[in-house]
Chain A
Amino acid sequence: MRVLLIEDDQAIAELLRQSLTAQHYLVEVAADGQTGWDLAETFEYDLILLDLMLPKLDGISFCQRLRHERRSSLKPFNLNTPILLMTAEGASSSRVAGLDAGADDYIVKPFNLDELLARVRALLRRGNVGRSPCLEWGQLQLDPSACQASYQGQPFHLSSKEYSLLELFLRHPQRIFSHGTLIEHLWMLEDTPTENAVRAQIKGLRKRLKEIGVEDWLETVYGLGYRLKEAQIARESAAVGEADIPQQPTSLSPYSSIPTNPFWEQYRAQYSDRLSVIERAVSALQTNLLSEELRQQAQREAHTLKGSLGLFDLDDASEMSGQIEQLLKTALLNQLEQADLLELTSKLRQAIQPFPQMQSPSTTEKGYHSSSSPEKLALPQRSQLLIVDDDTQLLAFMQSMLQPWGFQVALLNDPQQIWSSLEAVKPDLLMLDIEMLGTNGIELCQKIRNNSRFGDLPILMISASNDDETIQQVFMAGADDYVSKPIRAAELVARVIRRLEHAMVLKKLRGMEN
């Protein structure tokens, strides 16, 4: 994990650097706020340790700039990176100012080093993974507080780099890491390796884990990078090596490994807090200490959860919330009802637990593995896409897959309006369904290719069939690529990015010719 330490007191900076390095963190030190800012603008960090009083740019201003800066032309580095503010001022006003400015936590100097390291670990967990202090993948376990890896309870040794790689994947279970991103996270500036060296590290880690019986834990996402597999799926499937990754559209079950709802991760913590109120009430009830006020508050929270969780496709959780609400309506519950309430609350917690895939496979609930935000990949984001399909639900679904990557997505469900939409949207890439009511996507593709204004536009066709004849027609019509339904998020994103990169290269080459 990569940490930016911004501290002007050399002695403290050195002490922290050594302590963090001993915990396998990669630490870069800036001695003033402006230098720290320059680094934060250029590189991605997993955590920023920030002194409050700094020359050139103070800690509060740094936080405000980082959290509120709108740098649309730059990569969205570190916008959400946790910040731990270090302050020598015990006054609550300065702590409040720091937290209001966007810091996630603070620690008052002089601090206990163990406490600081614990806060660092807590912050790293908060933004990215479940709240368990240990990272888990099936029976593979990583304890960041002891820097210890174990499998089936047996500790095993990893090199420092292997440990860091594994920790990174476990902390970001849904994120795809390109070679470049891995280098950014795990290697120092002056120590930048080649892509081959990164491959060698991945290969070494795979081999090391295979030796102790862990296989098929990491998938290679074609054209993008590496991603941790779901523990449950990995156990069921046979080993699939890198060479086996299909390069053509596959026909896996619809929406497998795709977050059913792109918003869930964003709001999970809020709903978890609501559930905490209910848990407090249940706990108080057990000891006959439930106040009327807390009972009513818990009932209101259950009411809200019932209404809202269904929106995130958590139907069972919504129903359980309704049952809890009903039970909480009664001021005096008998023993049986109290037991029901306890069980329902516990089940509800399991249903909305952060990152269920990090728990044991038996409790893993499929379908809610929403994306850790992939916007930090160095890809041609902010590109404008236009998707044309007469199926509005599919349009919304594709939008939900692409928007988290930073693409600007325009939707059109009436292909008759294609020309005016092209003029209005001026897309960098067009996605066109083949079978639309009253319109043949392939013919439309041909017309666009023959148009003097839009003839060079990259076109990706969307097809329900992937037979040879259709594929041939797609390319004969001048399309650049195609995606077959059911659409898989990783494949769709990979193909979109590939087309955009290809178009950028062509543009550059043409510029050189002229």
Chain B
Amino acid sequence: MPKRILLIDDEDGARRIIQFSLEAAAGWEVLTAASGAEGLNLAEAEPFDAILLDVMMPDLDGAATFQRLQENPETRSIPVIMLTAKANPAEHQPLVELGIAGIITKPFKIPALIAQIRAILNWQE
């Protein structure tokens, strides 16, 4: 069974290209959500091996979405990787302290993204 990933990002272009690339290059199944709220609904409704979560989103941002995922017993155990364009490690610390599985800094190249996801989640495929 291919790994199933939920990608939550409000930006159409990034969502589409990451989804396409992960499906084509890594062979993972990627479902997408355009907002934190939509992502929460999807995460509750379907099983996922990991969630890729953009930090900066309107309404429910990445941190708030992650906290809601943690509060729900159905979604608490799904590893979450945050995607952020903030390059300063000091700015990552509050996110890391939330208990996320990892953080990936934009801009990234797709092969690097795949490698980082595999490394963070220790996926041996």
Q: Which residues of A contact B (CB under 8 A)?
A: 261, 263, 266-267, 270-271, 300, 303-304, 306-312, 315, 318, 322, 392-393, 395-396, 399-400, 411, 413
Contacts and interface: CB of A to CB of B under 8 A. Distances in A.
A307 B13 contact: no
Nearest to B114: A392
Given A263-B16, A267-B16, A311-B110, 9 more contacts: A308-B11, A308-B14, A310-B108, A311-B18, A311-B108, A312-B17, A322-B87, A393-B111, A400-B20
A270 B24 contact: no
A399 B21 CA distance: 10
A377 B21 CA distance: 26
**Chain B: number of interface residues, binned into ranges:** 20 to 34
Interface in B79-125: 83-85, 87, 106-111
B107 A311 contact: yes
Contacts of A300: 56
Contact of A304 (B26, B56, B109): B56
Contacts of A307: 14, 83-85, 106-107
Interface string B9-48: 0011110111011001111000000000000000000000
A129 B6 CA distance: 35
A392 B17 contact: no
B48 to A, nearest CB: 22
Most buried by B among A308, A309, A392, A400: A308
Chain B, interface SS category: helix
Contact of B24 (A271, A304, A310, A396): A396
A267 B106 contact: no
A263 B85 contact: no
Interface of A: prevailing SS: helix
Contacts of B16: 263, 266-267
A303 B13 contact: no
B25 A392 contact: yes
Nearest to A310: B107
9 contacts: A263-B13, A263-B20, A267-B13, A307-B107, A308-B14, A308-B107, A312-B13, A322-B87, A392-B26
**Most chain A beta-carbon contacts within 10 A, residue among B56, B87, B107, B109:** B107
A396 B25 contact: yes
Interface centre among A266, A311, A413 (most CB of B within 10 A): A311
Contacts of B83: 307
A396 B26 CA distance: 9
Contact of A318 (B26, B107, B110): B107
Given A392-B26, A395-B24, A411-B24, A306 B17 contact: no
Q: Which of B26, B84, B85, B111 has the most CB of A within 10 A?
A: B85
Nearest to A412: B27
Contact of B13 (A306, A308, A392, A399): A308
B34 to A, nearest CB: 13
A187 B87 CA distance: 56
Nearest to A318: B107
Contacts of B27: 392, 411, 413
A309 B85 CA distance: 11
A307 B17 CA distance: 13
Given A395-B24, A400-B24, A306 B12 contact: no
B56 A270 contact: no
Among B14, B26, B87, B110, the one with the most A-chain Cβ atoms within 10 Å of its Cβ is B14
Contacts of B56: 300, 303-304
